[in-house]
C-alpha cells in the first residue's frame, strides 16, 4: 500500500513537471513575455491552482516550484539554443520588472485551494468508509436474518413433531388401559420407537425358576 502511494506521488510529480516544461516550450514563442507575467491568465499560475484544487497543497507547491525552475533555469538556455541569447541576469531583471502585486497572492491561493481540497477529500473518504461499513453491516444482518429464518423453521418443525408425538403418546396410553400385558408391552415399545427413533427394541424379564432372561415383547427383530 505504501509502495503504491509512493509510486502515485512520483507519477504525479513527473506529470506536473512535464506540464510545466510544456508550458515553458510554448512560452519560448513569446520572447517578450517571459513567464507569461504580462498575461492576465498566467498558465504557470493556473497550473498551480489546478494542481492544488485537484491534488492538494503539496501538488500546488510542487507545480509552482517546477514552473519557477522552468522560467528561471530552462528559459534562458533554450533561447540561446534557438539563436536568441539571453543572460540569466538580464532574464531575472526582466522578470522582476514584470512582477505585479497579484503574483504575490499565488502561494496563499494555492494554500487555500489545497486546504479546501484536503478537507473535502477527508470528508469524502470518511463518507466512503462509512458507506463500506454500512454495506458490510447490511450483509452481516442479511446473513443473520437468513440464519434466524432457518432456526425459526427448525423450531416450527420440532414443535410440530412434538405436537404429533404428544398426540400419539396420549392415544397410545389410552390403549394401555384395555390391553393385556403382552400387548401393552408392544405398545410401549412402539412409543419408544417413535420417540427415540430406535430401529429395534425389546423387553426381557429374568426368570428365577429357569435362571434365564425371557423375552416378553420385541419390535424390529425378525420373527
Q: How far is CA 101 from the centre of its chain?
A: 48
Q: Give the torsion sign (CA, 149, 155, 159, 165).
A: positive
pLDDT tens, position by position, 5-26: 677 888 888 999 999 989 888 8
Q: Share the mean pLDDT of the chain.
A: 77
Q: Give the torsion sign (CA, 145, 147, 150, 155).
A: negative
C-alpha to C-alpha distance for 131 and 48, rounded to whole angstroms: 33
Nearest to 24 by CA among 87, 85, 68: 68
| Residue 48, pLDDT score | 92
Mean pLDDT confidence for 121-127:
70
| Residue 182, pLDDT score | 60
| Residue 166, pLDDT score | 62
Q: 18-27, 30-39, 96-105, 170-179: which range is least confident on average? A: 170-179
Q: What percent of the chain has pLDDT over 70?
A: 73
| Residue 209, pLDDT score | 78
Element (H, E) at 108: helix 106-176
| Residue 49, pLDDT score | 92
pLDDT tens, position by position, 79-95: 777 666 666 777 777 77
| Residue 157, pLDDT score | 75
Mean pLDDT confidence for 64-78:
83
| Residue 141, pLDDT score | 82
pLDDT tens, position by position, 157-207: 766 666 566 666 666 666 655 556 666 667 777 777 766 667 777 777 777
Mean pLDDT confidence for 108-131:
80
112 vs 2 pLDDT, higher one: 112
Rounded to 5°, the CA angle 104-108-113 comes to 135
Q: How many CB atoms lie within 10 A of CB 63?
A: 28
Mean pLDDT confidence for 98-111:
81
Amino acid at each position: 500500500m505504501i509502495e503504491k502511494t509512493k509510486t502515485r506521488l512520483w507519477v504525479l510529480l513527473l506529470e506536473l513537471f512535464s506540464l510545466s516544461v510544456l508550458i515553458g516550450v510554448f512560452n519560448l514563442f513569446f520572447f517578450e513575455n517571459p513567464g507569461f507575467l504580462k498575461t492576465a491568465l498566467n498558465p504557470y499560475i493556473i497550473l498551480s491552482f489546478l494542481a492544488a484544487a485537484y491534488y492538494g497543497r503539496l501538488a500546488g507547491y510542487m507545480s509552482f516550484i517546477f514552473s519557477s525552475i522552468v522560467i528561471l533555469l530552462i528559459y534562458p538556455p533554450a533561447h540561446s539554443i534557438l539563436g536568441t541569447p539571453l543572460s540569466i541576469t538580464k532574464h531575472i531583471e526582466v522578470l522582476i520588472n514584470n512582477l505585479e502585486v497579484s503574483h504575490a497572492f499565488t502561494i496563499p491561493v494555492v494554500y487555500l485551494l489545497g486546504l479546501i481540497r484536503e478537507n473535502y477529500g477527508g470528508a469524502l473518504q470518511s463518507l466512503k468508509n462509512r458507506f463500506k461499513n454500512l454495506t458490510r453491516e447490511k450483509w452481516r444482518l442479511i446473513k443473520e436474518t437468513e440464519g434466524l429464518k432457518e432456526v425459526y423453521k427448525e423450531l416450527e418443525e420440532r414443535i410440530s413433531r412434538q405436537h404429533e408425538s404428544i398426540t400419539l403418546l396420549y392415544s397410545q396410553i389410552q390403549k394401555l388401559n384395555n390391553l393385556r400385558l403382552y400387548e401393552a408391552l408392544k405398545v410401549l415399545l412402539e412409543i419408544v420407537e417413535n420417540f427415540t427413533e430406535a430401529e429395534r427394541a425389546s423387553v426381557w424379564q429374568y426368570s428365577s425358576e429357569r435362571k434365564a432372561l425371557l423375552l416378553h415383547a420385541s419390535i424390529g427383530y425378525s420373527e
